[in-house]
Amino acid sequence: MSPNDFDITGSIKALETLKLELLQSVVDLHKSIANQRHSHDERLACLADALVRTYMLAARLGVSFEQLEEKAEDDIRVHISKEHEVLAADYAALLRYLRRRQP
């Protein structure tokens, strides 16, 4: 086995691990929402973990953090134009937040 083979194997394993961890974060969030006894902090931890895993997976797939955020903003704008008023307002608030974070 050459060193390049090892790198490919390691990269595939890292991708699979991140995909599984992202899915587990979503499963944990669903469980937390269904179980009313779970705290706000537990739900926050699930959401934050899913966000971090998304960024890490994007990086492993060759997508920069900037590209991911730009695409997210594009998608948000589409949702604002398509969603009913309540969700459109939520998407608009998210877009304003993301724009304030930019230098």
pLDDT tens figures, 50-74: 999 999 999 999 999 999 999 999 9
Name the band, by pLDDT with cuts 50, 70 and 90, for residue 30: very high
pLDDT, position 101:
83
CA 23 to chain centre: 11
Name the band, by pLDDT with cuts 50, 70 and 90, for residue 83: low
Helices (H), 1-101: 3-34, 40-60, 65-82, 85-101
Rounded (10°) CA dihedral 56, 57, 62, 67:
-70
